[in-house]
Structure 1
Amino acid sequence: MNILGYLQKIGRALMVPVATLPAAAVLMGIGYWIDPNGWGSNSALAAFLIKSGGAIIDNMSILFAVGVAYGMSKDKDGAAALAGLVGYYVLTTLCSPAAVSMIQGIPADQVPAAFGKINNQFVGILTGVISAELYNRFSHVELPKALAFFSGRRLVPIVTSFVMIVVAFLMMVAWPVIYNALVHFGESIKDLGPVGAGIYAFFNRLLIPIGLHHALNSVFWFDVAGINDIPNFLGGAKSLAEGKAVIGVTGMYQAGFFPIMMFGLPGAALAIYHSAKPQHKARVASIMIAAAFASFFTGITEPLEFSFMFVAPVLYVLHAFLTGISVFIAASMQWIAGFGFSAGLVDMVLSSRNPLAREWYMLIIQGLVFSGIYYFVFRAAIRALNLKTPGREDDDELAPAADAAPVSSDVDSLARGYLNVIGGTANLENIDACITRLRLTVGDTAKVNEGEAKRLGASGVIKLNTKNVQIIVGPRAELIAAAMRNVISGVGAKPAAAAPVAAAPAPAAAPAAAGDLVLLAPVTGEVVPLDQVPDAAFASKAVGDGVAIRPTGKLVVAPVGGTIAKIFNSNHAFALVADNGAEIIVHIGIETVKLGGQGFKRLAEQGARVKAGDPVLELDLDYLAAHAQSLVSPVVVSNVDQYAGVTNVVTGQVQAGHTPLYTLKTK
């Protein structure tokens, strides 16, 4: 993975711990609303809520260690998060002032002050990254039989604890230098005051197209360079009492965003609507209204920003510049409000009674002014430069015609659609997501169809390089990414129906009624009832009806005659369309897609015509037994609802290509 791709990976992993902040904002915001003067001293309920939110804020460094480790792990497993926690405790304990004094044999008063600040978000991020890399490297390692209990995922926290001992010794030398450099950077920014806040805001917007604004935000919002703006603001009374916050200063890296998100961008949306061609105004209105509402109410701006970011980049630079001016003005005037999620109406209301909020209502007046500025500047620029904003495209650049087939809003349908957009699973290497965008690693970004992505509803497509692409899909990004993973693993996915082919001679099998389909065992082994498969989707028959087999033989064959509609790139599963239209999925093991094809050898190709008993896959049973979550292999009919059901289910041992497994009854 290239440097940009890796930085993006860290950036999106940061969103895992950051996602806890809205909970803290809501809890503490309601608490301050209940008791705006006593901050909990006059109300037990207010104190309860403020303390609950404070528990999140006070432990952000631990949340970063756990969240980054989880977010950067290759399969988002809890063992990676546990390793992050173990690593954080080992590192921070060994680098605590008392431990440094004992290990280095120096008086406690001579221990560098930097070790008193070892429990911070920077160390949490560092620990999370190291723990995730160790998880990705060692989570499938098998130890000798005597130590087999500690193999795989159980090995990772153990390895992490030893590695972090080494890291701790390195940090005893490096941490004072790193800490002093971070403090110097933070103090340099602080010394610039409102100008520094404005510069930060300008680059915050400019980095959004490549998704690295999260990394920049961590410097100003959290305790990476000593600024820690969001936790100190949300901490309210406690932050004031501890001297971590200053009224009129803490929150200045947040406040100026409210006028932009709540008013400026909706003003830009109105300008784009009024600049659209008359015949396209209705279409543009529906897009702009939804995007402007999201920006005003929640502070989610990407659907609106991506509507003009690439078609009119000059507008986006103007937007970044105006954002910097807004943050500068708010910081200069000390009009302060803060947020736990983004600078929308919800966060403004919740923060308005925070002890650190100051003349927050002036941000509304500032916002109304910026709404007018955005409207007139955007409209003038669009007209003067003839910018192709939504509704002003040339006719041959327009999206599909109105009579084009409607796009389903179903998440599973969208997942399959976006897989087609990127050139299919053969071009896909990794799937991830943040709040509003799919972050994908592909074989070649040239195969990504931007027009089709926009037809599916994407706000924009960003090709960062030949390997990394981002598709802006809105707040359902995580759901779509999860559905894409399910489609790839065969869960919930139905293969495309193959064209009817001439009937082949029926395979030798147990007697069945005319028209019924008898499936032979695709692999030698022991039959396992479907409800005992250790996967909820298969066990609940959500994927289809049938049985499973625990393999003891290495050859996997076609259970019936038909066409192989799909063999997954990882070779762990295939879908076969029988001559009568039955769609059959043979899925070897559970979660075996994560093995990346290891343990499987393909013997037939996608699209091939096969007879019952023809070889399709060859298994390395020793490797799979050591690395797969389970070898239990479902054999199901995914479109069973088109038939009368599954009967004559066999039990016990079966032989590949010979033993009848079950009968699919016709209606």
Structure 2
Amino acid sequence: MLGFLQRIGKSLMLPIAALPAAALLLRLGQPDLLNIPFIAAAGNAVFSNLALIFAIGIAVGFAKDNNGAAALAGAMGFFVLSACATSLNKTINLGVLGGIIAGIIAGLLYNRYHNIKLPDWLAFFGGRRFVPIVTSGTMLVIGFLFGYVWPYVQLLISHLATWLYDAGMFGAAIYGLLNRLLLPLGLHHVINTLIWFEFGTFKGFHGEITRFLHGDPNAGLLLSGYFPIMMFGLPAACFAMIAAAKKEKRKAVSGMLAGIALTSFVTGVTEPIEFSFMFLAPALYVIHAFLTALSMAITYALGIHDGFSFSAGAIDYLINYRIAQKPLLLLLVGIVFAALYFVVFYFAIKWFDLKTPGREDDDAIVADVTENDAVGHTNGKYETIALQLIHDIGGKENITSIDNCTTRLRLTVNDSAIADSSAMKRHGAHGVVKLNKTNLQVVIGTDVEFVADAMKTLVNASEVLTENDDDSDSASAPDVKTVTVGAESICSPVKGDLVPITDVPDKAFSGKMMGDGFAVDPEDGLVVSPVDGKVSSIFPTKHAIGLTGSDGLEVLIHIGLDTVKLNGEGFTNYVREGDPVIKGQKLIHFDLSSIRDKVPSLITPVIFTNLDPSKHVVLKKKGSVDQGETDIITFG
């Protein structure tokens, strides 16, 4: 159940992340700003269709491969659900909650039926094409039930909203406290969605955020309390942690803490700060939760109405300044909370000797990934972080799924106990949450999506993929097993100088984090297949390719170091994922002369990602090798 609720929380972030752009258009088009009606209408179009957007976004978030077929199923499911329910009861308004339900069901049905095979005469409707069909049928039944049940759900939501608003300061404080206490589990978005997009009604719009942006003078009371915390309190806490750090470690943590303090102030993204002390000093996090509740209560009592589209940072504060009530008073409250946070955090850390960043007893401090010596600078930043994290988690064999929300990786693993939390923090993580044996969360920051994509690509590059014809719309991925094969038939994919993998000037490769192998310093820009088999993965930036040999050996060819930053410039692919290949067949061409000066090195590692652990690569010769030359290595 915890894992399921977390998936809901994670999936909610996709549609929520789309709102800032719509809110910006809506605000800029208003008479008090640019007064351009068509821009306001563009933003309003999104807020008028929030339920549909949530249905689509959540369906994609729940789908195991985030396929567009799930999005189509989510949209169709919501249309059917809404039409069926309202045809039975005209008072029904499913709202965003209805979109969430439709998205969840569509995503679950996609995972269940996306590779279904039907009889030959119905084969066209098999695979992913079947998902919108089965979703529509399911929603027909649920829509009938909702026609009779949903009025009671609406009544319950109305009573909850009424109770919260009638509770005044106390209700606001309870909401703020729950919001922060649910954050470590990633479940705060569940309660946020009700308050932000469901509670209250104004001209047909629901929720604190939507009503505030559409001019409801009563909206924003349950949002304004976030601004003093995110713009002032938590940044001040960062500076308190810097001041309380040990002198010899202060410089090491100052860059990281100042950076995430600025992120919190400008954007309102606070998780990197909170996870930096959440588990090092749990008592401090409890204090932070109560201070958040206090802020919510004070701004409510002062009658301050302010809102945001994504989070309570300076960007939202400035954009919504003209429609906020008592915005200057909100700044004064923020300054008071900055002082309060600094004093409380500093003296709590000192008096109770709390192990916040820079005060640990060991050398493992949370490090900024841009300054971390353990992260190789010669390879692509995100790719290197991904390699390090995969290794720290226990290798690709321990990872069963990779996902992310706004700032954290959400991983399903075989055994979270073997994941090395200290190593992950040294390699760029701000915090690690081991929820249970199979659920692991790693807080990265606002770059998390790039790290997640790099991890997926690296893991997929070493998986054995069996894809059927496109018309079948189905795929399977059998278990990966280590293999022991003869190496004499493997040929060099590139012409150049043969180099031991340990001599590659990148710790991720020389340390054999993805496996053993060899490398070639190329003389020309043509890469051919070193084995007979098939293409299992091609990096979007074209600089690397994964192959699966006919004997099961998995090969990753990575052209150059730090070539990921070229975004495919100078590279030409001749094959696609799933294509069969034979030894010596052209795979990739790269313009050696044009990219040589843009990257640290063109040394090309060739990694065997599932080689039997008892085996290692031994070079049988030194110096120059020809393209396609065999008998260059053996497995010792």
| TM-score category of the 2 structures, normalised to the smaller one | 0.7 to 0.9
How do 1:218-617 residues align onto structure 2 when only pairs under 5 Å count? 218-223=193-198, 228-236=207-215, 245=216, 247=217, 249-354=218-323, 357-395=324-362, 405-408=374-377, 410-490=381-461, 522=532, 537=539, 542-543=543-544, 556-557=550-551, 573-574=554-555, 589=578, 606-607=612-613
Specify whether residues 407 and 520 from structure 1 end up closer, same or farther in structure 2 by C-alpha distance, changes over 3 A only: closer
Question: Take 1:142 and 1:322, find their aligned partners in 2: how far apart are those partners?
Answer: 55
Q: Taking structure 1 as the reference length, what is the TM-score of the superposition? A: 0.72
Identity of aligned residues (%): 38
SS of the residue 1:207 aligns to: helix
Deviation at 1:507, TM superposition (A): 9.0
Instruction: Write the deviation string for residues 594-622 of structure 1: whole angstroms up to 9, x where unpaired.
Output: xxxxxxxxxx96347699xxxxxxxxxxx
Specify whether residues 143 and 305 from structure 1 end up closer, same or farther in structure 2 by C-alpha distance, changes over 3 A only: same
Question: Take 2:335 and 2:229, find their aligned partners in 1: how far apart are those partners?
Answer: 10
- Aligned equivalent of 1:195, options 170, 195, 202: 170
- Aligned equivalent of 1:127, options 102, 106, 128: 102
SS of the residue 1:83 aligns to: helix
Specify whether residues 180 and 112 from structure 1 end up closer, same or farther in structure 2 by C-alpha distance, changes over 3 A only: farther
Specify whether residues 643 and 328 from structure 1 end up closer, same or farther in structure 2 by C-alpha distance, changes over 3 A only: farther
Question: Take 1:311 and 1:507, find their aligned partners in 2: how far apart are those partners?
Answer: 49
Specify whether residues 331 and 91 from structure 1 end up closer, same or farther in structure 2 by C-alpha distance, changes over 3 A only: same
Deviation at 1:148, TM superposition (A): 1.3
Instruction: Write the deviation string for residues 362-399 of structure 1: whole angstroms up to 9, x where unpaired.
Output: 11111011111111111221222121222222246657
Contact 2:77–2:139 (CA under 8 A) maintained in structure 1: yes
- Aligned equivalent of 1:94, options 84, 88, 112: 84
Question: Take 1:518 and 1:376, find their aligned partners in 2: how far apart are those partners?
Answer: 63
Corresponding residue for residue 24 of structure 1: 22
| Structure 1 residue ranges without an equivalent (≥5) | 101-110, 237-244, 494-500, 550-554, 559-563, 565-572, 578-585, 592-603, 612-641, 647-661
- Aligned equivalent of 1:159, options 115, 134, 145: 134
Q: Which amino acid aligns with 2:125?
A: F
Specify whether residues 429 and 406 from structure 1 end up closer, same or farther in structure 2 by C-alpha distance, changes over 3 A only: closer
Question: Take 2:51 and 2:219, find their aligned partners in 1: how far apart are those partners?
Answer: 19
Deviation at 1:153, TM superposition (A): 0.6
Contact 2:364–2:425 (CA under 8 A) maintained in structure 1: no
Instruction: Write the deviation string for residues 263-313 of structure 1: whole angstroms up to 9, x where unpaired.
Output: 111221221122122222212221221111111111111111112111111
Contact 2:60–2:70 (CA under 8 A) maintained in structure 1: yes
Corresponding residue for residue 475 of structure 2: none
Question: Take 2:251 and 2:311, find their aligned partners in 1: how far apart are those partners?
Answer: 29
Question: Take 1:56 and 1:513, find their aligned partners in 2: how far apart are those partners?
Answer: 55
Specify whether residues 281 and 79 from structure 1 end up closer, same or farther in structure 2 by C-alpha distance, changes over 3 A only: same
Specify whether residues 407 and 336 from structure 1 end up closer, same or farther in structure 2 by C-alpha distance, changes over 3 A only: farther
Contact 1:436–1:473 (CA under 8 A) maintained in structure 2: yes
SS of the residue 2:115 aligns to: coil
SS of the residue 1:336 aligns to: coil
Question: Take 1:417 and 1:445, find their aligned partners in 2: how far apart are those partners?
Answer: 16
Question: Take 1:79 and 1:505, find their aligned partners in 2: how far apart are those partners?
Answer: 44
Q: Taking structure 2 as the reference length, what is the TM-score of the superposition? A: 0.75
| Structure 2 residue ranges without an equivalent (≥5) | 465-483, 499-519, 521-526, 559-574, 581-609, 618-622
Question: Take 2:303 and 2:151, find their aligned partners in 1: how far apart are those partners?
Answer: 34
Question: Take 2:497 and 2:190, find their aligned partners in 1: how far apart are those partners?
Answer: 65
Corresponding residue for residue 70 of structure 2: 80
Question: Take 2:38 and 2:318, find their aligned partners in 1: how far apart are those partners?
Answer: 20
Question: Take 1:443 and 1:506, find their aligned partners in 2: how far apart are those partners?
Answer: 35
Question: Take 2:411 and 2:327, find their aligned partners in 1: how far apart are those partners?
Answer: 39
Instruction: Write the deviation string for residues 489-516 of structure 1: whole angstroms up to 9, x where unpaired.
Output: 11899xxxxxxx9x987799xxx99999
Instruction: Write the deviation string for residues 79-125 of structure 1: whole angstroms up to 9, x where unpaired.
Output: 000000000001111111xx21xxxxxxxxxx473x2x13x011100
Aligned residues: 524
How do 1:102-121 residues align onto structure 2 when only pairs under 5 Å count? 111=89, 113=91, 115=92, 117-118=93-94, 120-121=95-96
Specify whether residues 342 and 447 from structure 1 end up closer, same or farther in structure 2 by C-alpha distance, changes over 3 A only: same
Question: Take 2:152 and 2:110, find their aligned partners in 1: how far apart are those partners?
Answer: 28
Deviation at 1:327, TM superposition (A): 1.3
Deviation at 1:173, TM superposition (A): 2.5
Matched, 1:172 2:147: yes
Contact 1:87–1:161 (CA under 8 A) maintained in structure 2: yes
Specify whether residues 378 and 483 from structure 1 end up closer, same or farther in structure 2 by C-alpha distance, changes over 3 A only: same
Q: Which amino acid aligns with 2:410?
A: R
Contact 1:644–1:664 (CA under 8 A) maintained in structure 2: no
Instruction: Write the deviation string for residues 416-474 of structure 1: whole angstroms up to 9, x where unpaired.
Output: 11111110111111110011100001111101101110111111101111111110001
Matched, 1:207 2:182: yes
Based on CA coordinates, which of the two structures has the bigger radius of gyration?
1
Specify whether residues 488 and 79 from structure 1 end up closer, same or farther in structure 2 by C-alpha distance, changes over 3 A only: same
Question: Take 1:51 and 1:350, find their aligned partners in 2: how far apart are those partners?
Answer: 17
Instruction: Write the deviation string for residues 125-166 of structure 1: whole angstroms up to 9, x where unpaired.
Output: 011111111111111001111111111011111111111111
Instruction: Write the deviation string for residues 549-590 of structure 1: whole angstroms up to 9, x where unpaired.
Output: 9xxxxx9237xxxxx5xxxxxxxx45699xxxxxxxx99837
Corresponding residue for residue 654 of structure 1: none
Deviation at 1:53, TM superposition (A): 1.0
Corresponding residue for residue 11 of structure 1: 9
Specify whether residues 224 and 170 from structure 1 end up closer, same or farther in structure 2 by C-alpha distance, changes over 3 A only: farther
Specify whether residues 609 and 457 from structure 1 end up closer, same or farther in structure 2 by C-alpha distance, changes over 3 A only: closer
Deviation at 1:54, TM superposition (A): 0.7
- Aligned equivalent of 1:181, options 152, 156, 160: 156
Specify whether residues 590 and 80 from structure 1 end up closer, same or farther in structure 2 by C-alpha distance, changes over 3 A only: farther
Deviation at 1:176, TM superposition (A): 1.8
Deviation at 1:12, TM superposition (A): 0.3
Contact 1:88–1:127 (CA under 8 A) maintained in structure 2: yes
Q: Which amino acid aligns with 1:57?
A: F
Specify whether residues 395 and 422 from structure 1 end up closer, same or farther in structure 2 by C-alpha distance, changes over 3 A only: closer
How do 1:52-91 residues align onto structure 2 when only pairs under 5 Å count? 52-91=42-81
Question: Take 1:514 and 1:72, find their aligned partners in 2: how far apart are those partners?
Answer: 47
Question: Take 2:497 and 2:382, find their aligned partners in 1: how far apart are those partners?
Answer: 39
Q: Which amino acid aligns with 1:5?
A: G
